[in-house]
Amino acid sequence: MITSETLKKKYIEFFLEHNHKRIANAPLIPENDPTALFISAGMHPLVPYLLGQPHPSGKRLVNVQKCLRTSDVDEVGDSFHLSFFEMLGNWSLGDYFKEESIKMSYEFLTRDKWLNIDPDKLSFTVFAGDEDSPRDMDSAKVWMELGVPEERIYYLPKEDNWWGPIGSTGPCGPDTEIFFDTGIQACSPDCQPGCNCGKYCEIWNNVFMEYNRTPDGKYELLEQKNVDTGMGVERTTAILQGKDNVYETEIFAPLVEAVKSLAGLEELEPSQVKSIRIIVEHARAATFLLAEGIVPLNTEQGYVLRRMIRKAIRHGKLLGVDDEFLSGLAEKVIETYSEDYPYLKENEETIISELKKEHKKFSNTLQKGLNRFNRMARKNKKISGKDAFLLYQSFGFPIEIIIELGEENDIPIDVDGFNAEFEKHQKVSRAGADKRFGSGLADHSEKTVRLHTATHLLNEALRKVLGDQVEQRGSNITPERLRFDFNFHRKVTKDELKQVEDLVNEQIKKAIPIEKCETTFEKAKEMGAQAVFEQRYGDKITVYSIGDFSMEVCSGPHVKNTKEIGHFRIKKEEGISAGVRRIRAVVE
C-alpha cells in the first residue's frame, strides 16, 4: 500500500530524476504578502519568479507545500475537500512547457515504478477557449499522443480550467486537470470531471502560466512561459489506497478512531460521519496554525483559527463529547508529522495549552448560546442579523456555527444582516479579513519594502536589547505598518522600547548597504543567520545582511541601503499569548 509518505518521496524522487531542484516548504503565513492571510498554493511563494525574477535554485523546481484554503473550509466534511493540505508541485520557470509537463505527469501516474495507476481510470480536462485565450488543442493533442481516447478528454471553460492569479492580478493561465474515477455511482447521466459528487476526483492540475492578469482585468502574455502543477497529497493517497474519501487513509484514520472512541460510537449516522470529519480536519489544520505562532483571536489569521477550533468543539458536542478533546488529537497530529515538520514538536506545549484555553473559553458560553438560539428560533422562526450578531458577540459563536444551527433546525439566518452589524461593530472586520484572503499579490510597493528591511533591523535590535533568546514568531507587513511577534516572557519597558527604536534608527542613519547572497540553509545557519523556520530542503536560499548588524534567511525584497527606510517609530507593544509579544511600528 502506498502511504502519503511514500507518495511524497516518490514525487520528489521522480522530479529530481527529471532535473528539478527541491525547494523549501514555505511557512503557512505568507512572509511578504500583506494581501493574503495564508499560503494557498505551492505557486504562491513563487509569484516573483513566475513573473521573471531568476530563482536561486534554477528553472525546474519541485516541493511539498503546506497550504490553507479558507475558501474550502465550508466544504470540509465531504469526501475530498480539506482546508489544510499538503500539495506536491513541480514548476518550470520559462523552461519546459505543455508537452514535457504532460508527458512527465502521465509517466509519474501510470508507470509501474511510480504510481502505477490504471490509465483507464483517468480522465482529463483542458481549456475550452474564450476571448482571452484560445482552446487548448496543444494539451489535448499531447494526451491523445499518449494514448488517451478522445472521449476521456473534456473541454471546459474558465471557471473550471483556468488557474490563478492568487488575488486579482498576477500570473495565471489555462490548465489541464487530471481526474480519477473513484468508481462510485455517478450522480446523473451528465456527470463528468469537474462535477463535485465524488465520482471524479481531481488529483493533479498542470497550469500553463503564460499570462499576467493586469489590474484592469486584461490578460497579457508573460515573457516567460511557465508551468505550475499541484497534486493534493491527501486525495491522491486516498485514491492510491482504493478509498473514496481522505478520512480512511492513514493520515486521518487514527484521528477518526480516537473521536469515535471518545464519543463511544461504532455505527455512524451520516451526520456523525460529517461531524467527525470536520473535527479531525480542523484539529489538524489548527495544530499547524498554532505551531506557526497563530493564536485564536477575533481578527485575521487568528480568527480563521478560532472559527475552526470552535466549529470542531461544537461538532464534538453534537457527538456527545463535552470534555476537552482537541489537545489529544493535536498530540496525534504532532506525532504523525514530527519528521517532516519538527517545529510541531518544538511548539507542542503552546499548541496544547492554546487548545485547552480556547476550549475553556468557548465551552463556558456554548450551552448558554445554544439555549439562546433555541429561544430566538422558537419565538421568531428566524434569526435576524441583530440576533446573529448577539450570538457572535455575547456567546462567541462564529457565523458558520450559526448558519449550521440554522440548517440543522430549518431556521433561516439573515447572514447579510449579520455582516452589516459586524461591519458596524468591528474596526477590523471579518469581511475585511476574508477580502484580504482573496485579493492581491505579493506587495512589493516601496513602503512595504522599506518596512520589510526595518523588520530585519527590529528583529536584531530586540535581541541586542532583550537578549539572544528572542526569536521571531511572526511578521506581517502592510504598506502602513509592520507587525512583529516574538517570544519574550514579560512586557517590554518603555525604556527598552526606546533603546530598540534608537538602535534601529542608528543603523538607518549609518546608511548601510544591504547585501544579498545565495547559499545553503546549513551554511546560512553556520554563518549565524536568523531563520524563522528550519528549511530542511531546498538547495539554495537567500541571505540578506545589513552590515554586521543583521543577517537573515529571507526571500526579499529589501531596500538597497538603510538610508532609504526613513525614521523608524514603535507605535505599540503588547502581549498576544503566553510568552509572545507583538510590536507595531511605522517608518516615516
List residues near ligand GLY by CB under 6 A: 41, 43, 163, 205, 207, 228-230
DSSP lists the bridge partners of residue 91 as 61, 228
Please choose, from the candidates 322, 354, 357, 351, the residue with its C-alpha nearest in 3D space to the C-alpha of residue 338: 351
102: helix, strand or coil: helix
577: helix, strand or coil: strand
* Residue 6 C-beta: closest distance to ligand GLY, Å: 21
**Amino acid identity at 383:** I
Q: Which CB atom, from 43 or from 401, has the smaller least distance to ligand GLY?
A: 43
CA 311 – CA 507 distance, rounded (Å): 47
Q: Which CB atom, from 67 or from 503, has the smaller least distance to ligand GLY?
A: 67
Residues 47/207, Cβ–Cβ less than 8 Å: no
CA 463 – CA 470 distance, rounded (Å): 5
* Residue 44 C-beta: closest distance to ligand GLY, Å: 8
Give 192's DSSP letter: -
Q: Which CB atom, from 80 or from 163, has the smaller least distance to ligand GLY?
A: 163
Q: Which CB atom, from 205 or from 545, has the smaller least distance to ligand GLY?
A: 205
Please choose, from the candidates 198, 189, 182, 204, the residue with its C-alpha nearest in 3D space to the C-alpha of residue 89: 204
Look at the block and give the residue holding cell 516541493.
63
319: left (phi over 0), alpha (psi -120 to 50) or beta: alpha
CA 61 – CA 63 distance, rounded (Å): 7
Residues 171/45, Cβ–Cβ less than 8 Å: no
* Residue 469 C-beta: closest distance to ligand GLY, Å: 38
Give 95's DSSP letter: S
**Amino acid identity at 71:** S
* Residue 198 C-beta: closest distance to ligand GLY, Å: 19
* Residue 170 C-beta: closest distance to ligand GLY, Å: 13
Residues 29/292, Cβ–Cβ less than 8 Å: yes
Q: Which CB atom, from 71 or from 520, has the smaller least distance to ligand GLY?
A: 71
Q: Which CB atom, from 43 or from 61, has the smaller least distance to ligand GLY?
A: 43
Q: Which CB atom, from 88 or from 470, has the smaller least distance to ligand GLY?
A: 88
Q: Which residue is nearest to ligand GLY (CB)?
A: 230
Q: Which CB atom, from 207 or from 514, has the smaller least distance to ligand GLY?
A: 207
* Residue 177 C-beta: closest distance to ligand GLY, Å: 9
Residue 519 CA: distances (Å) to CA of 283, 525, 528: 36, 10, 13
